Amino acid sequence: MDPMIKTRVEIETLHELLEELDYYKILLLERDVPQADVDPAFRTVSRKLHPDRLARIDDEDLKSKANDIFRLANEAYRNLKDPDIRARYDMGLAEGNLRLSADGRSKADKEAAAKNNPELAATTPQGEKYFKMALKCWGDGDFRGSVMQMRFAMQFEPGNAVFVEWLSKAEEALESAAAKKDQNPYKLRIV
What are the structural domain ranges in the chain? 3-113, 117-182
Residue type (1 letter), 58: D
What is the block-wise mean pLDDT of the chain (191 residues), using blocks of 10 residues? 78 86 89 90 87 80 87 89 85 82 57 61 86 88 91 90 88 85 62 61
Query: Do 159 and 124 form a contact (C-beta atoms < 8 A)?
Result: no
pLDDT of residue 100: 75
Measured N-to-C along each axis, helices 83-94 and 60-80 cross at an angle, to the nearest 10 degrees, of 110
Of 187, 141, 135, 184, the closest CA to residue 163 belongs to: 135
pLDDT on residue 118: 60
Pick the CATH number of 117-182 from 1.20.58, 3.30.70, 2.30.30, 3.30.450: 1.20.58
pLDDT at 188: 59
CB-CB contact of 130 with 137 (8 Å):
no
Per-residue confidence (pLDDT) for residue 149, from 0 to 100: 92
Say which CATH architecture domain 3-113 belongs to.
Answer: Orthogonal Bundle (1.10)
Residue 40: predicted pLDDT: 92
Q: What pLDDT score does 107 carry?
A: 57
